[in-house]
A and B are shown apart, each in its own frame.
Chain A
Amino acid sequence: MSSQLAHHFEDMSQQREASSLGMWAFIVTEVMFFGAVFTAYGICRMMYPNAFGEASNKLSVLLGAVNTGVLICSSLTMALAVRSAQLNKTKSIIGFLIATMILGGAFLGIKVLEYSHKIHEHLIPGLDFVYEGVHAPQAEIFFSFYFVMTGLHALHMIIGIGIMVWLLVLAMRNRLTDQYYAPIEITGLYWHLVDIVWIFLFPLIYLIGRA
């Protein structure tokens, strides 16, 4: 155990608490990061409610909803992976981590599918944007937000999956135990945060102007 205690900490619990606190501070940063773009989106939506509603109808609720489900599943498997580490069950850590990565991959796959639809429909703001009707300029803003927000969210998922590869290596070497599970714990926090961002993204982007 002691080899996993960095020289500058007094004991394992100080080390774990410091990591967890550092991660929470980072989560606050992430909340502000996504929060600012949500604010910008909210203001533009308030200025152009009709245009945003109309543009939103070009998105597929089905794909968005399926992706929400996939992401919630991955959050569950991630939470169970952390739990396995707390209980010292190495095999199930590995199993749940792989499940989380597969679900994350599925989410990104569906995202790619959605993006390719948008490319075919010429809905790429700035570069290739063809939109009929009086709301065209505002719809372009909507799609700018759509790509920035979902793109940044997807980027976070890719980073999360990258970290999980490292965790998988740690788990396979039996390095994640009930004494030392801070890495998987803070990755879990991060992954759930990404889930929460999507929980807000989905209704605000996909489900407006449907009624």
Chain B
Amino acid sequence: MSQVVPQKVYLLVFATLMCLTLVTVDVAFYNFGILNLWVALAIATFKATIVVMYFMHVKYSSKLTWVFAISGIFWLAILFTLTMGDYLTR
């Protein structure tokens, strides 16, 4: 049986996610040029990571689960990089 995560951890993750939602909305209204996109993506990636780690228990899971989780991101990066590469060098 896998580990039971303490309720406190869940609530903390929840609070972080909510705060970051407000932050991401707020920063969208300031003009940082190209940075806006990167800030939004960075916040979203951080939020997704803590969901994966705590809500989806990857932090407490086997190496194999890590491999699966990472492989999805890796292959998505292949698709994105090579396709984008075409558009950026055309």
Tell me if chains A and B make direct contact, with any CB pair below 8 A.
Answer: yes
Q: Which B residues have a C-beta under 8 Å from some C-beta of A? A: 1-2, 4-5, 7, 10-11, 13-14, 17-18, 21-22, 24-25, 28-32, 36-37, 40-41, 43-44, 47-48, 51-52, 54-56, 64-65, 68-69, 71-73, 75-76, 79-80, 83-84, 87
Q: How far is the CA of A196 from the CA of B56 in the complex (A)?
A: 11
Say which residue of B2, B10, B48, B72 sits within 8 Å of A76 (CB atoms).
B10
Asked if A211 and B31 sit within 8 Å, CB to CB, the answer is yes
B2 to chain A, nearest CB (A): 8
Q: How far is the CA of A151 from the CA of B57 in the complex (A)?
A: 28
* Chain A residues with CB below 8 A from B75, complex form: 28, 32
Beyond A32-B72, A86-B1, A203-B40, whether A43 also contacts B83 by CB under 8 A is yes
Say which residue of A21, A65, A189 sits within 8 Å of B25 (CB atoms).
A65
Q: How far is the CA of A204 from the CA of B48 in the complex (A)?
A: 14
* Chain A residues with CB below 8 A from B64, complex form: 21
Interface residues on A, range: 35 or more
B22 to chain A, nearest CB (A): 8
User: B29, B68, B75: which has the most chain A beta carbons within 10 Å?
Assistant: B68
Among residues of A, the one whose C-beta sits closest to the C-beta of B67 is A24
* Chain A residues with CB below 8 A from B25, complex form: 61, 65, 207
Within 8 A of B (CB), among A71-128: 72-73, 75-76, 78-80, 83, 86-87
7 residue pairs from A and B, CB less than 8 Å apart: A25-B68, A27-B69, A65-B22, A79-B5, A79-B55, A192-B55, A200-B48
Say which residue of A24, A76, A178 sits within 8 Å of B69 (CB atoms).
A24
- Which 5 residue pairs of A and B lie closest in terms of their CB atoms, listed nearest first? A211-B31, A31-B72, A203-B40, A207-B28, A35-B76
Q: How far is the CA of A80 from the CA of B54 in the complex (A)?
A: 11
Say which residue of B7, B28, B31 sits within 8 Å of A203 (CB atoms).
B28
Asked if B76 and A199 sit within 8 Å, CB to CB, the answer is no
Q: Which A residues have a C-beta under 8 Å from some C-beta of B? A: 13, 20-21, 24-25, 27-28, 31-32, 35-36, 38-39, 42-43, 46-47, 61, 65, 68-69, 72-73, 75-76, 78-80, 83, 86-87, 178, 188-189, 192-193, 195-196, 199-200, 202-204, 207-208, 210-211
A68 to chain B, nearest CB (A): 5
Q: How far is the CA of A79 from the CA of B75 in the complex (A)?
A: 27
Asked if A28 and B14 sit within 8 Å, CB to CB, the answer is no
Q: How far is the CA of A80 from the CA of B44 in the complex (A)?
A: 23
A210 to chain B, nearest CB (A): 5
Beyond A65-B25, A86-B1, A200-B48, whether A72 also contacts B80 by CB under 8 A is no
Asked if A42 and B51 sit within 8 Å, CB to CB, the answer is no
Q: How far is the CA of A202 from the CA of B30 in the complex (A)?
A: 17
B17 to chain A, nearest CB (A): 5
Additional pairs, 8, CB under 8 Å, beyond known A69-B21, A75-B14, A208-B28: A21-B64, A27-B69, A61-B25, A192-B55, A196-B47, A196-B52, A203-B24, A207-B25
